[in-house]
Amino acid sequence: MSEAGRSVRVGLATDVGRVREHNEDAAFARGSIFVVADGMGGHAAGEVASAIAASTLGELADRTDLTVDDVVAQLTEANHRIVQSGIANPRTWGMATTLTGAALVVGEDGGRAWAIVNLGDSRVYRYAAGALTQVTVDHSEVQEMVNRGYLTDAEARVHPLRHTVTRSLGRDRVPVADTWVLPVVVGERFVVCSDGLTNEVLDAQIASLLGEVADVQAAAQALVDAAVANGGRDNVTVIVVEATD
Ligand SMILES: [Mn+2]
Task: Indicate which CATH number applies to the domain containing 200.
Answer: 3.60.40.10
Q: How far does the centroid of ligand 1 lie from the alpha carbon of residue 235, in Å?
A: 6
How many independent structural domains does the chain possess? 1
The answer, yes or no, to whether residue 191 has pLDDT greater than 50, is yes
Return phi, psi of residue 102, to 5°.
-125, 140
SS3 133: strand
Tens digit of pLDDT for each residue in 128-158? 999 999 999 999 999 999 999 999 999 998 8
User: Whole-prediction pTM value?
Assistant: 0.95
Q: How far does the centroid of ligand 1 lie from the alpha carbon of residue 39, in Å?
A: 7
Mean pLDDT computed over every residue of the chain: 94
Query: Which amino acid is present at 3?
Result: E
Q: How far does the centroid of ligand 1 lie from the alpha carbon of residue 236, in Å?
A: 7
Alpha carbons 136 and 89: distance in angstroms, whole number: 32
Nearest C-alpha neighbor of 47 from the set 13, 5, 3, 91: 91
Q: How far does the centroid of ligand 1 lie from the alpha carbon of residue 97, in Å?
A: 10
What is the DSSP code string of 136-175?
S---BHHHHHHHTTSS-HHHHHH-TTTT-BSS-BSSSSS-
At residue 2 the predicted structure's pLDDT band, cuts being 50, 70 and 90, is very low
Q: How far does the centroid of ligand 1 lie from the alpha carbon of residue 38, in Å?
A: 5
Q: How far does the centroid of ligand 1 lie from the alpha carbon of residue 195, in Å?
A: 5
Domain span including residue 219: 2-243
Q: How far does the centroid of ligand 1 lie from the alpha carbon of residue 71, in Å?
A: 23
Q: How far does the centroid of ligand 1 lie from the alpha carbon of residue 106, in Å?
A: 31
Q: Burial level of 119, CB count in 10 A (0-12/13-18/19+)?
A: buried
Q: How far does the centroid of ligand 1 lie from the alpha carbon of residue 112, in Å?
A: 31
Tens digit of pLDDT for each residue in 23-80? 999 999 999 999 999 999 877 799 999 999 999 999 999 999 999 999 999 999 999 9
Alpha carbons 178 and 158: distance in angstroms, whole number: 25
**pLDDT > 90: what percent of the chain?**
85
Q: How far does the centroid of ligand 1 lie from the alpha carbon of residue 79, in Å?
A: 19
DSSP 201: S
Q: How far does the centroid of ligand 1 lie from the alpha carbon of residue 81, in Å?
A: 21
